[in-house]
Structure 1
C-alpha cells in the first residue's frame, strides 16, 4: 500500500492518504472517523493521475475531517444531526440526515442514512434513530443467542427469551426462573466478539448461577480468551458508555 501526502489548510496541514490499487472499476475516496484517509483506484492508474485527483478533492477531505472533529463518537446517545458519529458493533459510524417525504433509516457500510420530513425536529429524529437502533440490536442479539445457545442446549437447558433494555451498570443479566436474558441496549456499540462474551456469560449462568470455579471453567473451555474480551469491553468500550 502506497502513501501519498496531501496539503490541507489549517488546522489539518499535511495529511497522509493510503493508496490501494485493486481490481475495481471505480475510484473510491474515504475519510474515516479516526481521520484515516484511503483511496482505492483501479490497477494501472498512474501516480500523476492520483496526485491530480487528490488535489481536486481537497475541500471535500477537509469538510469530512471537520465534520468528524466537530462531534465525539463516544457520546452515550449521540445528538442526531448530519455529520455526527456513533459506535455500532465496534465501528465508528457516521450519521447523515436527509430531507424526505417519508421516514426511513438504512445503514450502508460506515454510514447510517436517516430520511425524515421533519429534519428540524431533533427530538423526533432522536426517537426515529433509537427505534431503528432498538430493532437492529434486538435482531443482532437474538442471532447471537441462537448461535451460542447450542453450547448449553445439550445440557437440557431450554432456550431463554431475550429482552433488550437500557442499563447503566450491567452489560447483561439473566433469570433462570423466568428463562430470560436481559442485554444492555448500549452493548450494540461493542465489537461482535465482546457481545459474544456477554451472551455466553449469561447463557453459562443457566448451568452455574454463581461465579464459582465451575462457572469459569465452563466459560474458559468454550471461550478461552474470554478475559481479554472482558478487558476490552470494560476498559475500552466502557469509556464511551459513561459507565
Structure 2
C-alpha cells in the first residue's frame, strides 16, 4: 500500500489517496464520509495508469468530498436532540427527547423516544443513545447471521462470533483465524436487504478468503442481486454515516 497526492481545487487543496494493489479485476475508487480517498488496483497495473485514472476522476472526487463536507456540517449540528432524525433499517426515524426520572429509550410508530434525567445534556444523550444503538444493532445482526449461517454450516464451518464496532471505511470484516465477524456499528442504518448482503459477504469469506472467481460465484448463487445491494450501500447509505 502506498499514498499518492492529488491536486484538487481550493479550498480542498491537495488530497492524499490511499492506493492498494490487490487481486481485483479493475481499478476501484471510493470516497468515504471522513474524507479518506481509497483506490484499489490490480497487481499488474502500471503507476502511470493509476495516475491517469485519478486525474480523470478529479472532478468526481471533489464533488464527493464537498457533498460529505456539507452533509457532515448539517448532521453534526443535529446529532441527538429533540426533533432531529436518524435512519434505522433504511427508514427515517424522528428523535423525541423527554425529561424523566429514569433512563429509557424505545422505538415505536416512526419515532425513537429518549427519556433521560439529563435531557439538556447533549453528551449524556449521545452516550445513552449509543448504548441503545449498540444493543439494538447487535441483536438485529445476530438474527441475520442466524438466517444465513446455514449456507456455510453445511461446509463444516463453525458459527462465527459477532463484534459490532465503529469502522471508518468498511461495512464489515471477518477473521477466519478467530472465527469472528466484525460489523460496522452504522450498518444498522441500512435497509435489511443491504445488511443481509454484508453478512452473507463476510460469511462467504470463511469458505473463500479472497475476492476471487469462486467467491463471487458462491455469492451470486445465494444472492443474485448482491451487486445492487452493494451499490445502494456504497452510493446512498454511506452518505448518511454518523447519526
- What TM-score, normalized to structure 2? 0.68
**Displacement after TM superposition at 1:79 (Å):** 1.4
**Contact 1:160 1:180 (C-alpha < 8 Å) held by counterparts:** yes
Equivalent residue, structure 2, for 1:179: 179
Q: Which runs of 4+ in 1 moved over 3 A?
A: 74-78
RMSD: 2.0
Separation in structure 2 between the aligned mates of residue 76 and residue 145 of structure 1, nearest angstrom: 32
State the SS of the aligned residue for 2:236.
helix
For residues 222-241 of structure 1, what are the structure 2 equivalents within 5 Å? Answer: 222-241=222-241
Which secondary structure does the structure 2 equivalent of 1:193 belong to? helix
Q: Quote how far apart the aligned CAs of 1:78 are.
A: 5.4
The verdict on how the C-alpha distance between 1:238 and 1:77 changes in structure 2, with shifts beyond 3 A counting, is: farther
1:189–1:77 distance in 2 versus 1, CA, 3 Å: farther
Over 3 Å counting, the alpha-carbon distance change for 1:201 and 1:76 in structure 2 is farther
SS where residue 207 of structure 1 aligns?
Answer: coil
Aligned counterparts of 1:215 and 1:76: Cα–Cα separation in 2: 39
Deviations 1:137-171 (A, max 9, x none): 00000110011100000010000000001000100
State how far apart, in whole Å, the 2-side matches of 1:160 and 1:210 are. Answer: 18
Matches within 5 A, 1:198-213: 198-213=198-213
1:24-35 equivalences under 5 Å are none
Residue 169 to residue 187, structure 1, CA distance change in 2 (3 Å): same
Alignment map for 1:29-178 (pairs within 5 Å) = 75=75, 79-178=79-178
SS at match of 2:107: strand
C-alpha distance in 2, partners of 1:91/1:115?
22
Which consecutive unaligned segments of at least 5 residues does structure 2 have?
A: 1-70
Point out where structure 1 has 5 or more consecutive residues left out of the alignment: 1-70
Q: Decide whether the 8 Å contact of 1:81 with 1:97 is kept in 2.
A: yes
Give 1:77 shift.
Answer: 9.8
1:208, 1:214 within 8 Å by CA — same for their partners in 2?
yes
Structure number with greater Rg is 1
What secondary structure is seen at the aligned counterpart in 2 of 1:75? helix
Q: Is the alpha carbon distance of 1:107 and 1:164 closer, same or farther for their aligned partners in structure 2, counting shifts above 3 Å?
A: same
Work out which structure has the larger RCO, using CA pairs closer than 8 Å and 6 or more positions apart in sequence: 2
In the TM superposition, residue 120 of structure 1 has moved relative to its aligned partner by: 1.1
State how 1:208-219 maps to structure 2 within 5 Å.
208-219=208-219
CA contact under 8 A between 1:76 and 1:240: conserved in structure 2?
no
CA shift at 1:75, angstroms? 3.4
Other-structure match for 1:6:
none
Number of paired residues?
A: 172
Cα distance in 2, alignment partners of residues 235 and 171 from structure 1: 13
